Structure 1
Amino acid sequence: MDNMLQLESTRIEQDLLGKKHIPQHSYYGIHTLRALENFQISGLVVGQESHFIRALAQVKKAAAQSNLHFQKISKQQSIAIQQACDELIQRPQDWKASFPLDPYQGGAGTSVNMNANEVIANRALELMGHGKGEYQLLHPNDHVNTSQSTNDVYPTALRLATYTRIDELLTALKSLTESLYSKALEFQHVIKMGRTQLQDAVPMTMEQEFRAFATLLKEDFKLIEQLRQLLLEVNLGATAIGTGVNTPSGYAKHVIENLAKITGLPLKQAEDYVEATSDCGAFIILSSSLKRLAVKLSKICNDLRLLSSGPRTGLAEIRLPELQAGSSIMPAKVIPVILEVVNQIACRVIGNDLTITMAAEAGQLQLNVMEPVIAISLNESIQLLTQGMQTLQQKCIEGIEVNEQNCLDAVMRSIGIITLLDPLLGHAACDEIGKQCIRENKTVPQVVLELGLLTEQQLDEIFAFENLVSEVPNEVSPLEQVS
């Protein structure tokens, strides 16, 4: 790689291991280049994660402010660092090429922290009127990273980025919940059969079924919103292992107050910095809530697949939007592709939760070096769930139609409606009626009339819509509860 770099304009940088030629146009430096050579793992790059780049810059800006306050760096250096950070904060997507590292890396995120230090230092040097690499004037470690360690910078940035990304997830979750509730209102007049163990149970309305879907997701909106507050407790100022080595007295409180002002978030200091530097408990519980959401989404999709099955030989109670041909060999087949992709997303999120759990457990003594894979897994779960819910809503839920006659026919053919006769005829008699219905392929009203147990008028009253469907009243709609 060095030979190729020498063919273009380069600058020479030196570190503990020796010298390297760095492309002159690059804002990153020798530490980033070494990590780039060492970690070619996934094809992903840190620069793709705008939320994380912004969070890193916010941390570095807060540190520059506090380091000026405690006279650890000069005013000129602090101003230049803050200006460079502002550029990253305002348009992190423009800096993708400057953060080329694979997020899978050893060192507990040291490579990413050094990457940020070098980019900010070199941009700050330019703003001061100097060239990249003139580190004697403003150094990545000695100035940008003053009073910091990867071990407090990386987890703090991860918490900020994750907290912000969850905004997008909650927006998608709320919108999907609203869509399901709207469908519930649309289908409130449709009676259908409820089922347990895939067998006929008792009648219900399609509104009740879709309202239950909405309520299912509303619960997770509230839970995730609550649990993400754990991310607001940060260990910035802890430096290497939580003892605050190389920081002036009062620095931790000061820098977190600065960071809170920069981000607009009510950040607070960790109760015990040594504990906080190695503990990943907040990521475990947050990931668990994402897994729970994934499981519920997959359950809803499984139900919708069953309700739409057929279209001639299945339940066929609802019709899904037809999006693409479903078979290379069977003509006229359309399959529920959106529901299936959400099922697959759920599998991935469940796997990511296990990864996060194992990574959190793998920490040793005063640091957990597995935080990069926690960051990758959390980020992927949030992104997949967000995009999956948006796709589910827009390409499936909003276009669902109901087969009203199929639903009604299924109710009247069902043995399950015999449950309404139980208080009048008794359980044993209803058992016999049900067995005769199955044996002779007749409906419940037919057999009851044949046996002379009730009159046609009595049956009409018992099986009237308002009697077929009972409901525990809901004082607040799922939509209002989410809002």
Structure 2
Amino acid sequence: MTEHTDNQFRIERDSMGDRQIASSVYYGIQTLRAIENFPISGIKPLPTYVDAGLIIKKATAIVNGELDCIPQDISQAIVQATDEILAGKFRDQFVVDVYQAGAGTSHHMNINEVLANRALEILGEEKGNYKRVSPNDHVNYGQSTNDVIPTAIRIGGLLALSKTLHPAIDGAIASLENKAVEFQDIVKSGRTHLQDAVPVRLGENFRAWAHILTEHQNRIYTASGDLMVLGLGGSAAGTGLNTHPLYRARVVEVLSELIDTPLEPAPHLMAAMQSMAPFVNVSGALRNLAQDLVKISHDLRLMDSGPKTGLKEIQLPPVQPGSSIMPGKYNPVMAEMTSMVCFQVMGYDSAIALAAQAGQLELNVMMPLIAYNLIHSIEILGNTIAVLTERCIEGITANQERCLAYAEGSLALVTALNTHIGYLNAADVAKESLETGKSLRQIVLERGLMNEAELATVLNLEQMSGILPLSRESKQID
């Protein structure tokens, strides 16, 4: 029910009483109560999460209209309202803090009220005339927070993955593969325990990272399959109360068409709203990716360390001045940022795990936290990988002379002698080289352990670092 006090305000009424609401806003009384109750973070719902809810409401309006559960003109007005908002209008009307009432009822009603009020305008009515279009009786027909919010998390996750994370990973893999080809002929010292190890190809470092990302993307694809199974139609507590018999299957079909993704109804509606395991599974795959991204970003920083007192085997592209006091200093800021984002994703994953186990009986009331943390993790990881690729990986250059010098000076080259002079003899040669500064080759010859021809074959950097064909002549160690 709505009463107008003047042109600036309207009075809306719910089961708790009357409230005055600005005439200009599209949300209603339940959203207003949520604004007052939850002034927590100032963080508003993620646009992708809002989109997910709107797409669900569009699908339900279409199906409920087809099944004559709501009048056709109201169905069409709700669909038009969702299309307008998805196109960019009224985006400032979704205002409930992400830390809010359990299960997400406040955010859910925010969407219902905005759509109802815009649908009223489309039908030539004033906002707040809920006798004509009701947030509950029409926009939310046959639905409940119990089934809409878990579905919105699934749809939001799928949207974020397809639009943000997967394209970013694809780009990073391609860029790393390009660098692998560019640097394939460059031999450098490997390092284990941050100590000298056998020679490796710089290109293989980049190819290994590309392979790591490929495997993570496959894991995420596998995990996200759980998001395609929807409990929509379960209504309250998974009972299907107040839904048309054909609604459940049909609404999933329409949703599949709207997001161009093969979705299917959950085999058990109660289970679909109780268990948060699909979100934990996807979050775990994101955490796993984040952990390796931290390792890669740290490797880039180490290999670029210097320029005079570090490894400086590669040069990361400078993108901004690195110090407020030291002129000419450039820092590996893109790699640093990547690690920080990944730490946040790991933290979100822990929060998701805690929230997932905190449900009771027929519902998990911690879903607002899961929704924000999961979708935000996907999007910040995708954005991070995209800018790391564009502003760092694609511009990396190699310091070939420095790489070769480290490879030739590494005592770990003695490993290649093991099968020829034995492990203990090789260890003695390495020890004497470290103590005297003599080369491995010189000591082996002095001790008569091998002849020059044998050493030339065994101490061959390019042969030691891999068996791929090279475009330049092999280098021999003196």
Distance 1:461 1:471, change over 3 A: closer
Give the Å deviation of 1:214.
0.9
Give the Å deviation of 1:348.
0.5
Residues 237 and 247 in structure 1, CA contact (< 8 A), matched pair in contact too: yes
Match of 1:44 in 2: 43
Give the Å deviation of 1:287.
0.3
Match of 1:256 in 2: 252
Residues 412 and 443 in structure 1, CA contact (< 8 A), matched pair in contact too: no
How many Å separate the matches in 1 of 2:58 and 2:404?
A: 64
How many Å separate the matches in 2 of 1:262 and 1:304?
A: 41
Match of 1:478 in 2: none
| Matched position secondary structure for 1:339 | helix
Match of 1:128 in 2: 123
Match of 1:187 in 2: 183
1:114-153 correspondence to structure 2 within 5 Å: 114-153=109-148
Give the Å deviation of 1:143.
1.2
Residue of 41, 66, 83 corresponding to 2:80: 83
How many Å separate the matches in 2 of 1:14 and 1:436?
A: 89
Residues 53 and 88 in structure 1, CA contact (< 8 A), matched pair in contact too: no
| Matched position secondary structure for 1:219 | helix
Unpaired segments ≥5 residues, structure 2? 470-478
Q: Which amino acid aligns with 1:78?
A: S
Distance 1:258 1:333, change over 3 A: closer
1:53-452 correspondence to structure 2 within 5 Å: 53-89=50-86, 91=87, 93-167=88-162, 168-452=164-448
Match of 1:18 in 2: 17
Give the Å deviation of 1:199.
1.5
Give the Å deviation of 1:39.
1.2
Distance 1:299 1:471, change over 3 A: farther
How many Å separate the matches in 2 of 1:6 and 1:461?
A: 95
Give the Å deviation of 1:7.
8.4
Give the Å deviation of 1:248.
2.7
| Matched position secondary structure for 1:241 | helix
Q: TM-score, normalised by structure 2?
A: 0.93
Q: Which amino acid aligns with 1:140?
A: P
Q: Which amino acid aligns with 1:209?
A: N
Task: Please say which of residues 238-247 and 320-329 is displaced more in the overlay.
Answer: 320-329
Q: Which amino acid aligns with 1:136?
A: K
Instruction: Map Cα deviations across residues 178-236 of structure 1 (whole Å, 9 max, x no partner).
Output: 11111111111101111111111211111111111111111111111222121111111
| Matched position secondary structure for 1:94 | coil
Q: Which amino acid aligns with 1:208?
A: E
Give the Å deviation of 1:86.
2.2
RMSD of aligned Cα (Å): 1.8
Q: Which amino acid aligns with 1:152?
A: D
Give the Å deviation of 1:56.
1.4
Q: Which amino acid aligns with 1:53?
A: V
Q: How many residues align?
A: 465
How many Å separate the matches in 2 of 1:112 and 1:434?
A: 67
Task: Please say which of residues 431-440 and 352-361 is displaced more in the overlay.
Answer: 431-440
How many Å separate the matches in 2 of 1:411 and 1:449?
A: 20
How many Å separate the matches in 1 of 2:311 and 2:36?
A: 57
Match of 1:476 in 2: none
Match of 2:473 in 1: none
| Matched position secondary structure for 2:103 | coil
